[in-house]
C-alpha cells in the first residue's frame, strides 16, 4: 500500500479547511499566484499593444506560473522525500490540503441557504455575491438559490475533483500547478477586450487541465444524486465553458431543476441557454439537497483516493 497523501489531504480539508483567522494573518497560498499574475498583467498587458504580442506575453505568464508552482512543488516534495523517506507523507498531505476546497465551498454555499431560510433576501444576495461573478442585486429567491447551486456544481470540479486528480497523478507539483493555472483563468481568462489576448493561454490551459476531472465530476454527482444522466448527456455542452457544463448539468438533472439561463454581468444581460428541464423555481431546501449530493460525491472521491493508495 502506498502512502495515503491524497486521502489524508481530503480529510484535513474537510476537518479544518483554511480557517478565517489563518487567512487574515497570512492569506492563502493561491494569493502568491494571484500576486504574480497581477504583476505580469500590469507590466505586460498593454491595452493598445498588438494582440499577437499580448498573447505571447500571456503564454510567458502561464509558463512562469508553471515554473514557480510545479517547480517549487517538485523541489519541496523531493526535499521531504529525501529527508524523511517513507515517513514524509504526512507532511506532503499537510502541504497539499490547502489546494482543496471542500470545507470552504460547503461553508460559503450553506450561508446562502441559511439566509434564504431566514427570509433575509438582501443577506442571501450579499452571501451569494461572494461566490458568483454575476449581478446579484436584482435576483429573487429562486435566482439566488440557482446561483448558489450552479456555483456549488462548478466548484466541485475546479475546487475539489480537479485538484485531487492532479494530486493523485503528479503529487505536489501537479496540484499546485493546477491551482496556479486555475487562479490565472479566474483572474485573466476572460473574453472582454482587456483580457482576450493576454488571458488566452490561461483560459486554454485551464480548459485542458479540467477536461477529464469535469467529466469524472459530472459522473460522480449523478451517482451521488441517484440520477441526472439524461440531462448530463443532453446539456453538458450547452454551457459556454467546455467543462463547467458537465457538473452543472449533472446537478440540474439530479435535483430536477433548470439552471443557468438568462443572467446579467456588470449591468449587461446575457441570454444563456437553460440547463436541465425541471423546475425553474428553487429555494433553500434545494441548496441543502445540492449540498448533500456534493457531500456524497466528495465521499466517493475519498473512496477513490483510498483505493488509489491501496492499489498503487
Q: Cα–Cα distances in Å, from 132 out to 144, 149, 279?
A: 10, 10, 21
3-state secondary structure of 193: coil
CB neighbourhood size of 75 (10 A): 12
DSSP lists the bridge partners of residue 269 as 264
Nearest Cα residue to 44 out of 196, 198, 182:
198
Say if strands 268-270 and 263-265 run parallel, antiparallel, or are unpaired: antiparallel
The pLDDT of residue 128: 94
Task: With a cut of 90, say whether residue 294 has pLDDT above it.
Answer: yes
Eight-class DSSP state of 70: I
Return the residue matching grid coordinates 475539489: 160
d(CA 55, CA 195): 9
Nearest Cα residue to 11 out of 94, 81, 77:
94
The pLDDT of residue 252: 97
Nearest Cα residue to 259 out of 271, 249, 269:
249
3-state secondary structure of 245: helix
Task: With a cut of 60, say whether residue 116 has pLDDT above it.
Answer: yes
Task: With a cut of 70, say whether residue 266 has pLDDT above it.
Answer: no
Task: With a cut of 80, say whether residue 72 has pLDDT above it.
Answer: yes
pLDDT (tens digit per residue) in 232-248? 999 999 988 899 999 99
Instruction: Please report how many Cα atoms fall inside a 13 Å half-sphere around the Cα of residue 91, on the Cβ side.
Output: 14
Amino acid at each position: 500500500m502506498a502512502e495515503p497523501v491524497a486521502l489524508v489531504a481530503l480529510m484535513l480539508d474537510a476537518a479544518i479547511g483554511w480557517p478565517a483567522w489563518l487567512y487574515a494573518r497570512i492569506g492563502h497560498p493561491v494569493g502568491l499566484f494571484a500576486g504574480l499574475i497581477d504583476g505580469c498583467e500590469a507590466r505586460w498587458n498593454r491595452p493598445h499593444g498588438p494582440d499577437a504580442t499580448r498573447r505571447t506575453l500571456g503564454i510567458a505568464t502561464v509558463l512562469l506560473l508553471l515554473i514557480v508552482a510545479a517547480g517549487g512543488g517538485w523541489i519541496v516534495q523531493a526535499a521531504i522525500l529525501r529527508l524523511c523517506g517513507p515517513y514524509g507523507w504526512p507532511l506532503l498531505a499537510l502541504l497539499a490540503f490547502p489546494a482543496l476546497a471542500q470545507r470552504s465551498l460547503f461553508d460559503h454555499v450553506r450561508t446562502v441557504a441559511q439566509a434564504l431560510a431566514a427570509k433575509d433576501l438582501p443577506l442571501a444576495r450579499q452571501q451569494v455575491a461572494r461566490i458568483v461573478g454575476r449581478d446579484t442585486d436584482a435576483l429573487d429567491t429562486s435566482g439566488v438559490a440557482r446561483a448558489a447551486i450552479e456555483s456549488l456544481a462548478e466548484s466541485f470540479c475546479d475546487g475539489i475533483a480537479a485538484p485531487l486528480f492532479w494530486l493523485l497523478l503528479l503529487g505536489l507539483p501537479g496540484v499546485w500547478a493546477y491551482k496556479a493555472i486555475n487562479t490565472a483563468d479566474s483572474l485573466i481568462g476572460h473574453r472582454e477586450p482587456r483580457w482576450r489576448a493576454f488571458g488566452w493561454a490561461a483560459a486554454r490551459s485551464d480548459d485542458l487541465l479540467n477536461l477529464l476531472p469535469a467529466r469524472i465530476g459530472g459522473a460522480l454527482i449523478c451517482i451521488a444524486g441517484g440520477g441526472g444522466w439524461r440531462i448530463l448527456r443532453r446539456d453538458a455542452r450547452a454551457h459556454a465553458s467546455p467543462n463547467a457544463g458537465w457538473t452543472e448539468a449533472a446537478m440540474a438533472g439530479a435535483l430536477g431543476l433548470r439552471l443557468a439561463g438568462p443572467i446579467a454581468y456588470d449591468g449587461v444581460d446575457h441570454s444563456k441557454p437553460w440547463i436541465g428541464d425541471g423546475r425553474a423555481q428553487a429555494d433553500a431546501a434545494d441548496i441543502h439537497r445540492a449540498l448533500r449530493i456534493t457531500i456524497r460525491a466528495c465521499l466517493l472521491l475519498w473512496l477513490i483516493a483510498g483505493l488509489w493508495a491501496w492499489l498503487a
